[in-house]
Chain A
Amino acid sequence: SQQGEEDPQALSIQEGENATMNCSYKTSINNLQWYRQNSGRGLVHLILIRSNEREKHSGRLRVTLDTSKKSSSLLITASRAADTASYFCATTTFSGSARQLTFGSGTQLTVLP
Chain B
Amino acid sequence: DTGVSQDPRHKITKRGQNVTFRCDPISEHNRLYWYRQTLGQGPEFLTYFQNEAQLEKSRLLSDRFSAERPKGSFSTLEIQRTEQGDSAMYLCASTGDTRFYEQYFGPGTRLTVT
Contact = CB atoms under 8 A, between A and B. Distances in A.
A33 B56 contact: no
Looking at chain B's contact residues, the main secondary structure is: strand
A57 interface: no
Nearest to B56: A98
Interface of A: 1-2, 4, 30-31, 33, 35, 40-45, 48, 88, 90, 92, 95-106
B102 A44 contact: no
Given A43-B43, A106-B41, A100 B33 contact: yes
Contacts of A102: 45
12 contacts: A1-B44, A31-B101, A40-B108, A42-B108, A43-B91, A43-B93, A48-B102, A95-B45, A95-B58, A100-B45, A101-B43, A105-B41
A43 B50 CA distance: 21
Interface of B: 4, 31, 33, 35, 40-45, 48, 50, 55-56, 58, 89, 91, 93, 95, 100-108, 110
B45 A101 contact: yes
Nearest to B45: A100
A98 B102 CA distance: 13
B5 to A, nearest CB: 10
B48 A42 contact: no
Contacts of A101: 33, 35, 43, 45, 93, 103
A-B pairs with the 8 shortest C-beta distances? A103-B42, A98-B48, A42-B105, A98-B56, A100-B45, A43-B105, A42-B107, A88-B42
